[in-house]
């Protein structure tokens, strides 16, 4: 079930006076995975929808009045990554079997979508993002080994990590959705550091494989930063004016997803660490 309320993003100067509760009500999403239910949240971040489903029996992607269309993907595209047990996505009669960390892209004009698990005792967990689309690209899937993994960082800086790009100009084709995940190695806790902003795209972070660890997600303007404490399988919404980086009490993974004016992964404005406030 989709939330009735749309997450509206405030102006950057407004969050300087936000309470902890106001920050969390605006930028934090939790509880995406409940048995046999789909949970989705509409945002005004480039009209992105963030959601999750943990099916023990097949769960269909429903429509919502906010799409303004006859079915959910009539004018939208969708990317999903499985972070649970083996499962499958069935789209207009075509089946995509997804192991853990596999990704599938579904284009505009996909009429019927169903999320299923291969074993109800070890259900799949499909995390998904959806944004508006203007053209239909082929439905396709990708495994981590085919995502051209890029190692970054160092153990000395506690940010040794590997980036897996799925939906982007050099991978699965889309209109504007960009999506992949980053895996930190044991002993590394910092992600996306030094931080950056990108005015031409919004971004959403989904943190997982934290176990009992916690994570401080840093946000806000570079000279007026704020933070959210997140637990496993929780989301931070990041407007284009906000930095987005985090530090955990242990290593973890996170799925990043963007939409906006371009799909250039490295189109970003770096922030020098000594300039942060």
Within-domain flag for 2: no
Within-domain flag for 256: yes
Q: Measured at the alpha carbon of residue 171, what is the angle toward residues 170 and 174, in degrees to the nearest 5?
A: 100
Within-domain flag for 4: no
Within-domain flag for 212: yes
pLDDT in the model for residue 262 = 81
Q: How far apart are CA 42 and CA 235, in angstroms?
A: 13
CATH code, domain carrying 195? 2.60.120.10
Say if CB 120 and CB 81 are below 8 A apart: no
Within-domain flag for 3: no
- pLDDT of 26-47, one tens digit each? 999 999 999 999 999 999 999 9
Q: How far apart are CA 268 and CA 14, in angstroms?
A: 23
- pLDDT of 157-203, one tens digit each? 999 999 999 999 999 999 999 999 999 999 999 998 889 888 888 99
* Domains contained in the chain, number: 1
Within-domain flag for 79: yes
pLDDT in the model for residue 5 = 83
User: Is pLDDT of 147 > 80?
Assistant: yes
CA distances from 128 to 67, 181, 185, 190 (A): 16, 12, 24, 24
- pLDDT of 114-141, one tens digit each? 999 999 999 999 999 999 999 999 999 9
Q: Which residue segment(s) compose the domain that 41 sits in?
A: 12-275
Within-domain flag for 226: yes
pLDDT in the model for residue 148 = 85
Q: How far apart are CA 235 and CA 3, in angstroms?
A: 15
Whether the model pTM is above 0.95: yes
Within-domain flag for 81: yes
User: Is pLDDT of 265 > 80?
Assistant: no
Which of 4-13, 133-142, 209-218, 243-252 has the weakest average pLDDT?
4-13
């Amino acid at each position: 079930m989709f939330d009735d309320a749309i997450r509206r993003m405030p102006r950057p100067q407004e969050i300087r006076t936000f309470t902890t509760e106001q920050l969390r009500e605006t930028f934090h999403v939790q509880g995406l995975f409940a048995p046999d239910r789909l949970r989705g949240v509409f945002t005004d971040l480039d009209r992105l929808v963030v959601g999750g489903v943990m099916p023990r029996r097949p769960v269909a992607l429903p429509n919502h009045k906010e799409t303004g269309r006859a079915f959910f993907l009539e004018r939208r595209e969708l990317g999903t990554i499985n972070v649970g047990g083996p499962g499958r996505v069935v789209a207009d009669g075509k089946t995509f079997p997804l192991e853990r960390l596999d990704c599938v892209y579904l284009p505009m004009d996909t009429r019927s979508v169903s999320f299923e698990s291969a074993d109800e005792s070890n259900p799949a967990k499909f995390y998904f993002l959806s944004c508006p689309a203007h053209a239909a690209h082929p439905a396709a899937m990708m495994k981590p080994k085919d995502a051209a993994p890029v190692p970054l960082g160092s153990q000395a800086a506690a940010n040794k990590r590997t980036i897996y790009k799925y939906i982007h100009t050099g991978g699965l084709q889309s209109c504007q959705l960009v999506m992949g995940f980053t895996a930190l190695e044991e002993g590394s806790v910092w992600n996306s550091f030094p931080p950056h902003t990108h005015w031409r795209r919004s971004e959403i972070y989904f943190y997982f494989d934290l176990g009992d660890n916690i994570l401080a997600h840093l946000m806000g303007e570079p000279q007026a930063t704020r933070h959210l404490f997140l637990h496993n399988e929780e989301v931070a919404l990041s407007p284009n004016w906000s930095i987005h980086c985090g530090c955990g009490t242990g290593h973890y993974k996170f799925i990043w997803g963007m939409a906006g004016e371009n799909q250039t992964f490295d189109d970003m404005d770096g922030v020098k660490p000594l300039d942060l406030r």
